[in-house]
Amino acid sequence: MTRQEFLEKLRAALNGRIPAASVNENVNYYEDYIITEVRKGRIEEDVLKELGDPRLIAKTIITAGGRESGAYAEDYVYGENTYDEGEKKISSGWDIVRRLPSWLVILIVAIVVISILVLAFSVLSVFAPFILVMLGVIFLVRILRDMNS
């Protein structure tokens, strides 16, 4: 799929479902994004694969528009690893992380980092006596070598 095909599919999926100004705004946003990524040296095809199906992007945009107008909308995030299989929706685990409050993500990361540090220091404390003895032996051997030289 080319950039133009992607943008045409996105426009077709949005037309008549959200205001025309929003259609243009969203299509322009994705066009600018693709152009910017290609200028950075990425291959257009890779950028489009990363973005995923333009119809799923359109569903997300329409859902967000429905929420703003007070209409019913599913509380579901469409991502690059998400697809619609009839009534069954499948998504990547990162969608859940994206919906968590930032303070909770920071707390979880802090707990993991502290746990790793505690584990590292506990392992170090078990081996510290052996390491100190080995360093002492090495030190004594060097002193004895220097005295014999």
DSSP designation for 16: T
Task: Give pLDDT, residue 103.
Answer: 86
3-state SS, 76-98, equals: CCCCCCCEEECCEEECCCHHHHH
Quote the CA–CA distance of 49 and 52 in Å, as a whole number: 5
Contact predicate 109/97, CB 8 Å: no
* Best mean pLDDT range from 68-72, 87-91, 94-98: 94-98
Cα angle 131, 133, 136 (rounded to 5 degrees) comes to: 110
Task: Say which range, 11-15, 36-40, 77-81, 135-139, has the weakest mean pLDDT.
Answer: 77-81
pLDDT at 104: 85
Cβ neighbours of 67 (radius 10 Å): 13
Average pLDDT score over residue span 25-36 = 94
Q: What pLDDT does residue 138 have? A: 95
Q: Determine the pLDDT at residue 149.
A: 74
CB 63 within 8 A of CB 35: no
